Chain A
Amino acid sequence: MRTIRLLLEKEFRQIFRNKALLPMIFVMPLIQLVVLPLAADYEVKNISISVVDHDHSTYSHKLISSITSSGYFKLIGYTNSYPEAIHLVELDKADLVLEVPSGFEKNLVRENEQKLFIAVNAINGVKASLGGAYLNKIIANFNADIRLQLIQPSRNNATPVIEVVSSNWFNPFMNYKFFIVPGILAILVTMVGGYMCALNIVKEKEIGTIEQINVTPIKKIHFILGKLIPFWIIGIFVFTVGLVVVSRLIYGIVPMGNIVLLYSFLSIYLVALLGFGLLVSTYSETQQQAISVAFFFVMIFILMSGLFTSIDSMPGWAKIIAQLNPVTYFIEVMRMIVLKGSSFKDIKWHFVIVTIFAFVLNGWAILNYKKTT
């Protein structure tokens, strides 16, 4: 116990003296948590549209004004020919081209039917698919309005219509921030814990202090605990600040579920994560190597954790990677407890899996951390 206390004292002293590390640990995660959710917005706005109007009728004008007034589209071109419009796409000024044929209004009234042409720039996939979908929706609404005007309601009573109205559970206003902030907080805790832990041990190797430590009666397990405990505490601290200061005060996210449950999951998760850091450090000789290896894994952890993209829509092999990723479980639990108010029963398998991660990663790291070569 005395040895561990001594090691902790030494570790904290070094951390608090490190002028570069301290802001890294405490300030950066907060700034990121404030800034990232604002940028990581799923809603696509400011889609540039170029309209080719061959009709110049009241209806075509109505259609265009309903598109621009939706708030999603920006009319950047109103041209007379398709090549002119597509040139704007080539210049990357327009994302969508809507072509209104000549006689649009006339044929619509007379023959009850008319076709519109939409061309989408698919280089930015998300913008293209969402933009196309929004536009279709607007045109469909426009169509419904016209039907109401043209067809006498009394005569249309017999037509059955199925209308789908959805209600968003756990996030009724579909505020994406509720969804993304807990996820980003999980990632930040992962980054701070994983990097710091790996770098710290490798630093002792690089400077040679581990050599001096190894020729002392310090036990392997004491040395490792002396490294893990400080970063475990820092992880809990960063998480608490993120949860209370940023999520609650700035975004107004109040966890629905049990806070104790959330923290007990975090405690186990941090042990698993620090085990990962320890493992990286046992395979690296220099801090440069450690940061490269850790970066590689953290990158995969982030992109394949279901933070930005749904795991369910990944191909089979990617799902397996996501399931082997501890961050996946933490983000799921974060969202389940914070948004849904899940209880222990709902996340007991997450507990089991993360506990297994903790044992495997730490066990592997300890086996690999040899005092003698």
Chain B
Amino acid sequence: MVILNNITKTYNKGNTIAVDDVSFSVGKGELFGLIGPDGAGKTSIFRVLTTLLLPDGGSATVDGCDVVIDYKKIRSQVGYMPGKFSLYQDLTVEENLNFFATIFNTTIKENYELIKEIYVQIEPFKNRRAEKLSGGMKQKLALCCALIHKPTVLFLDEPTTGVDAVSRKEFWEMLKRLKEQGITILVSTPYMDEATLCDRIALIQTGKIMSIDTPNNIVKAYSGTLYKIKSDMMNKLSNDLHSYENMLSCYAFGEYLHLSFKNENEHFEKELMNILKEKGHQQIEFERTIPTIEDCFIKLMSSSG
């Protein structure tokens, strides 16, 4: 459905590389996630795919149409929800939806089935202006407007940024149901915990793709063993561990520190415990843990330099 071949995009006359030789493809009906921190190039990739930005190199197709040549065709059949709320603030919920439906030569009635589930939640406020909606409602309205013409591919740029935890969860459930209706969905997010909800993900950093696979496979591919540790003095613990020579990586993760070691012989655990006790740590909890996407991301980031 969506194919990218060596897409490159630079800004400031080539001095800033936003997207660096990115290639991947997304199959029909897939929920594909672009995971990466702010400034990784996610939005640039989306803007290239939605024909808002011309790539400097490489080619890309969406539903068989080239993003440069057949841009008109793409515009009539994809749905795009920008990261920033981009509907008319001074029009009401219903007016916005009607406007976008009419632009795409359709009516709310015609595709009501597709948006019904989302729309019923905002329908009580249909005469309210978009600017007066809460963040989660705005998001739902934007999704409705992006869906109203029954797009074949849906591009969602950071749809859950700035949305509360409950709304986020709801939003992902809606995406799953849309996927079941055969719509291909590309979604970007800076939240690692949302990655596991995608069929496949691409981890992206400074315009480069570090890894593309299913969330499970990415976690499985994590080499080495990961431990978590906590004690009564977390700040000191972090400093002490950083000065420990056998330490490969050590970073905060929730209430624990996640650790990996250069060399794991039979005695290293005992050795570590002794050192920590010597430094006065008490209530030490130390055990193996299963790596998450975030751990994989951090590992990939540090290894790529």
Chain A contacts to B: CB under 8 angstroms: 2-3, 6, 10, 13-14, 17-18, 207-209, 211-218, 372-373
- CB of B80 within 8 A of CB of A215, answer yes
Q: Given known contacts A213-B103, A215-B52, A217-B105, what 4 new A-B pairs fall within 8 Å (CB)?
A: A209-B87, A215-B78, A216-B103, A216-B104
- CB of A208 within 8 A of CB of B91, answer no
- CB of A211 within 8 A of CB of B76, answer no
Give min CB distance, B101 to chain A, whole Å: 10
B171 at the interface (CB under 8 A from A): no
Complex A-B: 7 CB contacts under 8 Å: A6-B102, A208-B85, A214-B52, A216-B75, A217-B103, A372-B52, A373-B52
CB neighbours (8 Å) of B76 from chain A are 216-217
Given contacts A215-B51, A215-B78, A373-B52, A207 and B86 within 8 Å (CB-CB) = yes
Give min CB distance, A369 to chain B, whole Å: 14
- Chain A CB count within 10 A is highest, among B91, B100, B103, B145, for B103
| Number of cross-chain contacts by CB at 8 Å | 67
CB neighbours (8 Å) of B50 from chain A are 215
The 0/1 profile, CB within 8 Å of A marked 1, for residues 78-95 of chain B is 101010111111110001
* Chain B, 63-117, CB within 8 A of any chain A CB: 71-72, 75-76, 78, 80, 82, 84-91, 95, 99-100, 102-105
CB neighbours (8 Å) of A217 from chain B are 72, 75-76, 103-105
Given contacts A372-B54, A372-B71, A212 and B86 within 8 Å (CB-CB) = yes
- CB of B90 within 8 A of CB of A3, answer no
Which one of A2, A10, A17, A208 lies within 8 Å of B99 (CB-CB)? A10
Chain B contacts to A: CB under 8 angstroms: 50-54, 71-72, 75-76, 78, 80, 82, 84-91, 95, 99-100, 102-105, 145
Which one of B86, B95, B103 lies within 8 Å of A3 (CB-CB)? B103
Give min CB distance, B145 to chain A, whole Å: 8
- CB of B86 within 8 A of CB of A14, answer no
- CB of A212 within 8 A of CB of B87, answer yes
CB neighbours (8 Å) of B52 from chain A are 211, 214-215, 372-373
Give min CB distance, B189 to chain A, whole Å: 19
Top 3 A-B pairs, shortest CB-CB distance: A208-B86, A217-B76, A212-B86
Given contacts A207-B86, A372-B53, A372-B71, A14 and B103 within 8 Å (CB-CB) = no
Which one of A10, A13, A372 lies within 8 Å of B51 (CB-CB)? A372
CB neighbours (8 Å) of A6 from chain B are 99, 102-103
- CB of A10 within 8 A of CB of B88, answer yes
Provide the bound-state CA to CA distance between A207 and B87, in Å: 8
- CB of B89 within 8 A of CB of A207, answer yes
Give min CB distance, A219 to chain B, whole Å: 9
Provide the bound-state CA to CA distance between A212 and B75, in Å: 10
Give min CB distance, A13 to chain B, whole Å: 7
Given contacts A6-B99, A217-B103, A218-B103, A373 and B54 within 8 Å (CB-CB) = yes
Provide the bound-state CA to CA distance between A333 and B215, in Å: 72
For B88, the closest partner residue in chain A by CB is A209
CB neighbours (8 Å) of A211 from chain B are 52, 82, 84, 86
Given contacts A10-B91, A372-B52, A209 and B86 within 8 Å (CB-CB) = yes
- CB of A14 within 8 A of CB of B91, answer yes
Give min CB distance, B182 to chain A, whole Å: 21
Given contacts A3-B103, A216-B100, A217-B72, A14 and B88 within 8 Å (CB-CB) = yes
For B145, the closest partner residue in chain A by CB is A212
Give min CB distance, A78 to chain B, whole Å: 66
Give min CB distance, B230 to chain A, whole Å: 44
Give min CB distance, B82 to chain A, whole Å: 5
Give min CB distance, A42 to chain B, whole Å: 44
CB neighbours (8 Å) of A209 from chain B are 86-88
Provide the bound-state CA to CA distance between A10 and B80, in Å: 21
Give min CB distance, A366 to chain B, whole Å: 17
CB neighbours (8 Å) of B102 from chain A are 2-3, 6
For B105, the closest partner residue in chain A by CB is A217
Give min CB distance, A179 to chain B, whole Å: 41
CB neighbours (8 Å) of B54 from chain A are 372-373
CB neighbours (8 Å) of B103 from chain A are 3, 6, 213, 216-218
For A209, the closest partner residue in chain B by CB is B86
For B95, the closest partner residue in chain A by CB is A13
Give min CB distance, B71 to chain A, whole Å: 7
For B89, the closest partner residue in chain A by CB is A207
